Amino acid sequence: MNLKRALVLVVLLAFVVFSMAGCGEGEVVARVNGEKITLSELNKKVGEIKAGLESQGIDLESEEGQSVLKKVEEEALNQLINETLLMQEAKKQGVLAGDDEVQKRLKEIKENFSGNEFKNLLKAQNLTEKDFKKQLKLQLSADALFHKVTENVKVSEQELREYFNKNKGDLEQLKVAHILISVDPEATKEDEEKAKNKAVEIIGRLNKGEDFGFLAKTYSEDAQTKENGGIIDIYFTREDPFFLKEFIEGAFKLQEGEFSKEPVRTTYGYHIIKVMDRKASYEELKSTIKDRLLTERKNDAFVKYFDKIKKDAKIENMLEK
């Protein structure tokens, strides 16, 4: 996972917004096996989460923003209770992250930022470094507990093959290259036709045997891929959320080594797609299937484990009284 993205995920790990008029900051709002959760902890989350939401471009004064706030308010205390239970259980199981481990992880994250970039990001999220270290300790402890609880979860060869046979179409993966002739969203019909004709002309040159990579470097308007001969250096499936539906449909119509005979229109413009590699056999997809099934099984196992912990815990919610 990208470390900058991971930082944001850590910040939003406890997605909490809560306010309570007329109460002192030290007032206890809940106890979890005797451990207190105070109003000040809840109010601190308010500033953190509001900053996090606003940094994601959500206007908290808008109808959408108010709707988001209302939903997270309903889950606020439950989130903090879950975090407290998780840390208690991690300690009980001997996997609670130590200060040295937290410091090491913090150092690794900082190394991926230049200058004051890290400090500025924390400031934008209304966090101090101490706050962030607390979130890291929670994340590392949760990861360790998850691993311990699920380390014996397995899937058999038979289960993998059965899953493959039932889901072949959805599992198939492609790696492609493309040439993009972009079209401005406000382009005139004349500009639209001009872009399409340019794409058709390039397809004609491909039909005559010209090199796809050379034409991509020369004509593609996708700055991220053109210098690599148009290659998008990842594999994707029919359900990949990061690719446009029209692009996926156009790609999966092709066999390995084939390129589009007609330009594929998306919101970005006209694409000429070439399939560089296709993974469709069981052996090629086995590791992907195993990862998917193991993730599902482990998540299910951990949810059941945690549900039992919560059921057996002594939880006092003062806000319900």
Q: Is the pLDDT of residue 206 over 50?
A: yes
Global pTM? 0.72
Q: Is the pLDDT of residue 307 over 90?
A: yes
* pLDDT at residue 2 in the model: 45
In the chain, the domains with their CATH numbers are 3-153+294-320 (1.10.4030), 173-279 (3.10.50.40)
SS (H, E, C) the chain: CCHHHHHHHHHCCCCCCCCCCCCCCCCEEEEECCEEEEHHHHHHHHHHHHHHHHHCCCCCCCHHHHHHHHHHHHHHHHHHHHHHHHHHHHHHCCCCCCHHHHHHHHHHHHCCCCCCHHHHHHHHCCCCHHHHHHHHHHHHHHHHHHHHHHCCCCCCHHHHHHHHHHCHHHHCEEEEEEEEEECCCCCCHHHHHHHHHHHHHHHHHHHCCCCHHHHHHHHCCCCCCHHHCCECCCCECCCCCCCCHHHHHHHHCCCCCCECCCCEEECCEEEEEEEEEEECCHHHHHHHHHHHHHHHHHHHHHHHHHHHHHHHCCEEEHHHC
Least confident of 27-31, 35-39, 54-58: 54-58
Q: Is the pLDDT of residue 9 over 90?
A: no
Higher pLDDT, 233 or 124: 233
Higher pLDDT, 45 or 184: 184
Q: Is the pLDDT of residue 215 over 50?
A: yes
pLDDT tier at 46, thresholds 50, 70, 90: low
Q: Is the pLDDT of residue 320 over 60?
A: yes
Q: Is the pLDDT of residue 209 over 80?
A: yes
What's the pLDDT tens digit per position in 138-159? Answer: 999 999 999 999 999 999 999 9
pLDDT tier at 199, thresholds 50, 70, 90: very high
* pLDDT at residue 13 in the model: 40
pLDDT tier at 74, thresholds 50, 70, 90: low
Mean pLDDT (the chain) is 88
The stretch 46-50 carries a mean pLDDT of 70
Least confident of 15-24, 76-85, 92-101: 15-24
The stretch 118-128 carries a mean pLDDT of 85
pLDDT tier at 25, thresholds 50, 70, 90: low
* pLDDT at residue 61 in the model: 81
